[in-house]
Amino acid sequence: MRWDAQALSPNSGQASGISGEGSRGPAPAGDALLPLAGLVRSISTPEFSGVTFHEVTAKSVLNKVPSGSNMPFEWTVNPYRGCSHACVYCFARKTHTYLDFDSGRDFDSQVVVKVNAAEVLRKELAKPSWRRHPVALGTNTDPYQRAEGRYALMPGIIRALADSGTPFSILTKGTLLSRDIPLLKHAATQVPVDLGISLAMVNPDLAELMEPGTPSPRARLKLISRLRDAGLGCGVMAMPILPWLTDSDDALDALFSELASAGATGVTAGALYLKPGTREWYMKWLATNHPELVGRYRRLYGQGSYAPKEYRIWLAGRINHFKAKYGFTGTHGFSHRNARPEAAAGKQAPTNSEPAELLPGQEPLF
């Protein structure tokens, strides 16, 4: 098969990878393959120019979130590590360094694929100890990134969760989710299902620069409408809102207007979060594309990963203004917290009591 013919041996020196964050072309990834537990093969193909897929067999895919976390979920599944969406602001970049990849271009181009994710998950969910806690997908990297079109891991994962009686939530930028709408509709008759689309800007030119591997904002708006037409709820994670780039009244008005027109059931929005690993990559992008803003960002984020409280309060006020303008007051956005058994039983889900910004210590979800 054509795909099989692209397999790379660990020492072939042909893998499409990165030798450093500043480089733009492919580089040998032979040495980087060695730490990957369960590595089966690595694939580089013209269909995904500049991206190498490292296929691994996982021993476990059901992940327990540390007890001290402020995340609104306890369990996650991430069938992929690394993400070809290549969003310059992605908070998960540093997690790639745990695999001896860098958090810059490697995160965008060295994608680890857990090829047996569905099979392993089904076995884990069948254990007597499993209590059917809600499971979140899309918390670290996107389960519907382009590779999913090739590997088709999500249908098996969705079936395993639904068949076991496990509620689940999905956050994605990937329009590949539309392939699974019939499956998701069926799953929603078995367990609570919470779906969210990540969309924080509707300017196509800016999105092309900042999220070069994602479907366009227009395509994601159409996906929201398709989900709603299918009778499925669809909240929106409008994060991050970017200082001086997407936080103006014009930008926020356009965003909330488009989300309302698409039929979004609610919006969660908040300011950019610049943790180490993301900060360096984002600031390099900023210096290239908006050098006039570098000094402002250094001052705004000079005290850490969060924008100052004063900015967050100001932004929350503007977000709430546009929520009210476009009918989102009293609705709930997306935060993985709504896929719970009580929601299926008819109990009221959390409404606008959620903050318009994340609380200190609570990382963004995507």
Q: Locate tokens 């980087």: which residue?
A: 32
Identify the residue whose tokens are 């100890």. Answer: 129
In terms of DSSP bridges, do strands 80-81 and 75-77 run parallel, antiparallel, or are they unpaired? Answer: unpaired
Q: Is the pLDDT of residue 101 over 80?
A: yes
What CA–CA distance (Å, rounded) separates 45 from 339? 37
Question: Taking Cα atoms as reference points, which of 27, 6, 32 lies closest to residue 17?
Answer: 27
Confidence of residue 70 (pLDDT cuts 50, 70, 90): confident
Q: Which residue has the tokens 């093969």?
A: 41
Take residue 190 and report the two structure tokens written for it.
Answer: 């078995």
What's the confidence (pLDDT) of residue 7?
61
Confidence of residue 176 (pLDDT cuts 50, 70, 90): very high
Q: 247-250 contacts: CB < 8 A, separation 24 or more?
A: 247/271, 247/315, 247/318, 249/318
CA torsion sign, 303 to 307 to 313 to 314? positive
pLDDT computed for residue 349 by the predictor: 41
Task: Using a pLDDT cut of 70, give the percent of the chain over it.
Answer: 83
Look at residues 219, 188, 200, 157 and name the one whose alpha carbon lies nearest to residue 334: 200
The pLDDT value recorded for residue 30 is 40
CB atoms under 10 Å from CB of 291, counted, come to 9
Residue identified by tokens 């989102």 is: 328
Highest mean pLDDT among 71-85, 94-108, 119-133 belongs to: 119-133
Q: Could you give the angle at the alpha carbon of 334 between the alpha carbons of 333 and 336, nearest 5°?
A: 145
> Is the pLDDT score of 335 beyond 60?
yes
Beta bridge partners of 112: 54, 81
Q: Give 174 or 6, the one with higher predicted confidence.
A: 174
Tokens of 216: 């366009």
Confidence of residue 6 (pLDDT cuts 50, 70, 90): low
